[in-house]
Structure formats: structure tokens, C-alpha cells
Chains A and B, each alone.
Chain A
């Protein structure tokens, strides 16, 4: 088994420039459902490279700098100002849950392993200079030398071990603990070597280390402030090795980071600092961009993206990613414990019409949890897409020929509300009476109170797609453990088999077998993969990553004078 090179996803459009784009939107800020470590992928290809005792896998070296406007000098004292709708719940990777946390974490912290804009694992961006599987159960990291945390603590093998323990001991909140469950022990033969001893092979491990489980905190700071989420203060006093140091925070007002003068990457960062303004109303955010208070607006809704066309001195970014707009159903009770009822619902939704009508064409119909940004993505895989004849057939089989009634809940995003009203009108033609109820705390109410027969959210997706199946559909996942999901032993064994598979092609095949299973059982309804949309001031240069999130750390962003 050789190294399976990460294919360039040719469908990936990456438009930077003043004109071209159609509008789209969605995810980006995957809502509260995007919790958990969102792990970037492409790594499995790397893991696939693991040859027993063999040479280290070849590593893609990619230029990681952004591309400033030619002929203009960099303005190194500039700041990036952007917005987030709510406070970031924790500045500690391990105890945070929001899908919006990483944009902050990537400025103050570095990961043991990092990916580039194309989601390829890239040592130049990582705290580990190289890594290799010395045998299927032993993963050895060579660590970068001379790196220190912001408080002066040296980064070394002992620090890696402490961070693993932090994930295992204090991480029940983020799900990072589950991500690292394959690791049995971390050994530290010398200062710059960390060895992960595994209980069993884990094909997605390296990719997972690119996200929440892999951020490296200062061991001194963890002890000093207390790492536990409930009792400790580390969550408000983050200390990493990143390009920026934490520079204060005021709840519902701002979060600031400023240049780390001792950063291990030469001449990085290219800017003075980053400030997040917490602005709850998206219309106010857009106004703040127009008045110049913000110079970057991430995750713009398609309608606003279209409107921004008229803005002067603005650049537009659009990129397909890994997010999935989906309806997560309560399959533990009627009507959706009946697979035919759920499948009828899925067949009744004309995704294309909604994508063209409401998302300005900036999305594609979704069939499962694997998105166009994932290496495993199969563009020809068909989902349970619009088919009036099949709706009627499924309703007959379900024993509900006249349709049925159910409630879908969702967050308070105006765009999501439009999307669900469009779905509501479409399925009504088949006798499916869908009630829609926005609720700020919809995910909590779905799980804790079993409110609603399903909920809609723009799930931010995972770079490692098996995690989505784990998170959404598995017995140890969120919904099964809160009693809103049917549990099926066959699915469990298929998933366990996938997780311990290392070969890329085999993983992909098994992934789509799982997709078939979920479709057959009507567990979730997949609607669309929306492109990430962003606008920024023309002086700003940045790369949009395939994970749909803003990357502002390292030297990922620069500003010209």
C-alpha cells in the first residue's frame, strides 16, 4: 500500500476578486450544531501512507503565505477586524464546543499537526516537524526545536504529553476525549520526540490532531490557572505558541489578540493583531463592514453577498467546503421511526429549486455527511433527491398515504428560516404538514426536551467524515445518547470497522456504505452543501481554507498599505 496522494479537488472554486461570484452561503458559522472538534481531513491519506517501519510519508510542501496585492507594501501595523455573532464559549480548545471557536484558537495556538488551505497535512505549519508510523500502533512525532509558549515555557515532548492528558482528563465537554480514545499512552524518549502508543489503528487520528484535540497549551499555564472547565480559569487565559498572544476579552463586546514578537515562523505574523467584534445582528455586521469598522466579514448569507456586489474596494471569496445543511430527525419515535415516512420527506424536497431560488446557486444538493471539500467526496453519489413518484410510493409503504404532520425546529437565522419555509411549502404539496418553529436554544431543546421531530442546521461538517457519522448517527453519538436516535448494531460494527481502517480507498468505500445505510433507514435528511462566502477589504489578503473557517494565524493573512 503506497501513499495515496491527496487529489486536488478540481471542483473547488476559489474566487478572489472584485467581480465573479454568485451568492451563496450557509454554514461557515455552523451554528451550535457544529460543536465538537471539527477535524480537518485529508490526513487519512497521510495515515494511509503509514507503512510499517517504512520511510516517513512524503509530505506536501505548500506555500502558506497569502498573496498580497503586487506592488504594494505590507502594512505590518494593520489589524484584522471581523465579527462573530456570539461570544466564543471557551478560549481553551479542549473545553470549547462551538464551531466558531477555531478561528480564535488558530491565532493563539499552533497544532501538533496542521493542514493548509487545501486540507493537506503540512509540517511547515505544524509543531511537529515530521511524523511516521513506526508500526501500526506506534506514531512517532519529531518536534520543532526552540519553540516556546507565550509565557516562556519551552515546547517539548513533555508538553505534548501534558496536552494529551488535558484532553483525556478535562475534555469531556468538547468531545476531544472521544477523538483521542485510540491513544493508549504518550511516551517521551527525549525532549523533541513524542511517541503515541495506540490501542488500535485509527485512520483519522492525524486529521483529528489538526483540530481541537491537537492544540498545544502551555503546561505551566494549565497548572497555574486550572484547566477544568467548570472550576479553572485557563479557559479565559489561553497561552499557546501561536503567532498572536491573547490581548483581552470583554463579554459580548470584543476579543483581541496581538502580535507574538517571538513567533517561531520568521517574519510572521504579517499584521499587528486581530479583533473580533461580537455583533448579534447580521444586518448590523454588514453596516459595520460598510462603514469600515470591520475589514473582514465571514460566512455572509447569499442575499447579503449579492448585495455587497455594489460595495467599493471589496473583495469576494467563495469556496466549497465540508458543511452540510441537514435535517437531523428524531428516529426514536413516530413519525420518523418509520424509515418510509422519512424517505418520503426527503424525496419531497426539491433541493435544486431552493438552491437556485434562495441560495443564489452557491450550493449543491447533498446526499450524505461527506462534503465537496472532503478527499473522499464522490460527486456522482446520488441521495434521496426530489422524486414525486417515489414520495407517493414511500407514503404508501409507510402506511400514511394521506401524509402526516410533524414539527421541525431551527435557530433564529433569517436565512435558515427562509430555507425551511421553502421546504415547508414544497412538502405541503404531498400532504406533509410540516410545522416550523425557530428557537434560539433549538439543539438543547431537541436533545433535552425532545422538542420537535427534527431540527435543521447548517452543520459545519468534519474534515474527517467518519466523525460526522459518529457524532450524528452512532450509539455513542450525541443524539442516540439523548434518546432521539434509533440505535442499530449493524451500523455500529460498520462504523467501528471504518474507524480502524487505514487505507484511503477502503475508507472511502466503507464511508459510502455507511451513507447507504443512513439513507436506507432515513436517519437524516441531507439538503445542501453550501459554499463558504466571505467579503473583505481590498487591502486584505487571505486564503480561504476548505474547512469553511477563517484562518488568521501563522502568516495566513496580510494587509497592504
Chain B
């Protein structure tokens, strides 16, 4: 469905580039409050994740068993967790881990998925068949099960999680890229490039890729959100980030047993995940709108 809208995106880019981009951006945001809020939240998140020490009131692993499970107070704005650590501090440091896992896994999937999709779509034939059968096989294994298997095999931590979650998301990128490439193949600019004898790599990379960036970007935002959710699910099943490091998923799992006693402990990381994934989706919608106003979804 995205492929059909691509021809217009090309035109849109040229049209918009001719006007003042910042002014257009501002006008767009004024008309789309949800996207604006989402963007602000994500910017805040990035700042906090980059500089946790600046925002966090305490050291991330500072325990005080005497004040565990305390409610909000002037000393601990969001209360303390099951080991008496400051919840605000933990959620700030947790943002760093969760965001890293989300970004890295999406990046991993894109880095492998997009080139494979380009090759499959551009060359077709046996290359296409071979790539797509492996992709189909990957799709036939539930992503969470695949991730669980990989993390159990490789061990916990940010990098294994990137691998585990990223692998499961490669097929989505391959399929989307391939579909978009096939949509572009018949177009004049590709035929022209082929006729001038440019190398396939150059055509794929310099000509086709820029024209299919819009759906891919949307896909990345979705993948980042999904990565955060899968990390949380893996934490629930007991694998993933190593303690005492915090991620939102780890916090959600640890506070799970205290939902009735100290609900805020569970609500804070839960809301952080929900807000972030929602914002990423709004951002995706915004990007789609921006490039292709017709495809409002």
C-alpha cells in the first residue's frame, strides 16, 4: 500500500524544498498538536538519556533498605523502589538503556534489512527468491520466541538484546524495501539510470534509496517502539538487562509484585513505555504526513 504513494512523495519533496523549511515545519506542528507533544517528549527523552547524571537527583544504584517502597516525598519525588533506590533516578537511567536497546535493534534490522530488500527488489530472480525464502522462514518464527532464544544463547546485556530483537525485525525491513523498490523500478529515473550504464550499487544507493526513505523512516520509528516493548517482555520472562542496571522493562518486572502496595512504582515505568512508544508512532504518522499528505492514516 505504501508503494503506490511513493510517486507522489518524490514530487512532494521537491515542492517543499522550494519553500522555507523551518516555517513550514512550524506551521505543520501548529496544526498537529499530538505530533508536537510527541516530538517534545522524544526530545526530552533524548536529552535525559544522553545526560542522565544532569537530570537524576541520585546515583542510579544507591540503595537504602530502610526506606524501600516509599511513596513520593520532597526527597524522592516519585518515591523509592523495592531496594530503596530513587524511582525518578532509576527511570531516568532506565530511559537510557531502553532507548539504546530500541534504537540499536531498529538500526540493526535496518542495516541488514534494507540492503537485502534493495538487492531482492532490484535484481529479482534467484537472489530475490533466496532472500525472500529466508525472510519467510524468519517470519514464521514468532519474534519474541526468536529473541528469547537468542538472548538465552548469547547472554544478557544491551548488545545481545540488539541482536535478539533486531533479527526478528529484519524481515519487515526486507519486505518493505523490496516492495518499494519494485514500485520504483518502472519509473523513468530508474530506467534512465540503467540506460546510462551506472553500476547497480550506485543506482540502488544513490537513486532508488532516497526515493523510498519515507516509508522506511516510518518503519524505523515503529521498530524502535517495538524494540522497547520486546525488551520489556523479555525482562518479564527473566532475561535481558543485567542488574543493577535499570531499563523500563526491568523496572516494570521488579515492581510487578507491588502493584497494589505501591502502584506508582509500576505506573511510572509503564507510562514511560506507553508515552514513548505512542510518541514514536505519532512521529511516524507525522513523517508520513509530511512527505505524503494524501496518505493520512
Contacts and interface: CB of A to CB of B under 8 A. Distances in A.
B121 to A, nearest CB: 41
B155 A421 contact: no
A291 to B, nearest CB: 14
Interface stretch (B61-69, B182-190, B196-204, B205-213): B61-69
Interface residues of A, number: 26
A286 to B, nearest CB: 8
Interface string B255-273: 0111111000000000000
A421 B257 contact: no
A438 B260 contact: no
Interface string A308-346: 000000000000000000000000000000000000000
A357 interface: yes
B83 A418 contact: yes
Contacts of B239: 438-440
A424 B244 contact: yes
Contacts of A288: none
Given A303-B257, A307-B260, A418-B83, A435 B238 contact: no
B243 interface: yes
Contacts of A412: 237-238
B230 to A, nearest CB: 18
A354 interface: yes
A461 B95 CA distance: 41
B115 interface: no
Interface string A411-439: 01010011011101100000000011111
B256 A283 contact: yes
Contacts of A420: 243
B32 interface: no
B156 interface: yes
Interface in B57-81: 61, 63, 65-66, 68
A282 B257 contact: yes
A253 interface: no
A437 B242 contact: yes
A115 B242 CA distance: 43
Contact of A414 (B65, B156, B254, B260): B254
Given A357-B66, A425-B63, A418 B82 contact: yes
Given A353-B65, A437-B155, A421 B258 contact: no
Nearest to B244: A421
B253 interface: yes
Contact of A436 (B68, B243, B254): B243
A414 B254 CA distance: 7
A472 B82 CA distance: 31
A425 B61 contact: yes
A5 interface: no
Contacts of A435: 242
B65 A424 contact: no
A421 B260 contact: no
Interface in B223-243: 237-239, 242-243
Contact of B65 (A282, A358, A437): A358
Contacts of A421: 63, 83, 243-244
Contact of A422 (B83, B156, B258): B83
Given A301-B257, A425-B63, A437-B155, 7 more contacts: A282-B257, A307-B261, A358-B65, A424-B244, A437-B242, A438-B238, A438-B243
Interface of A: 282-283, 301, 303-304, 307, 353-354, 356-358, 412, 414, 417-418, 420-422, 424-425, 435-440
29 contacts: A282-B257, A283-B256, A283-B257, A301-B257, A303-B257, A304-B257, A354-B65, A356-B65, A357-B65, A357-B68, A358-B65, A414-B253, A417-B254, A418-B82, A418-B254, A421-B63, A421-B243, A422-B83, A424-B243, A424-B244, A425-B61, A435-B242, A436-B242, A436-B244, A437-B155, A438-B243, A439-B238, A440-B238, A440-B239
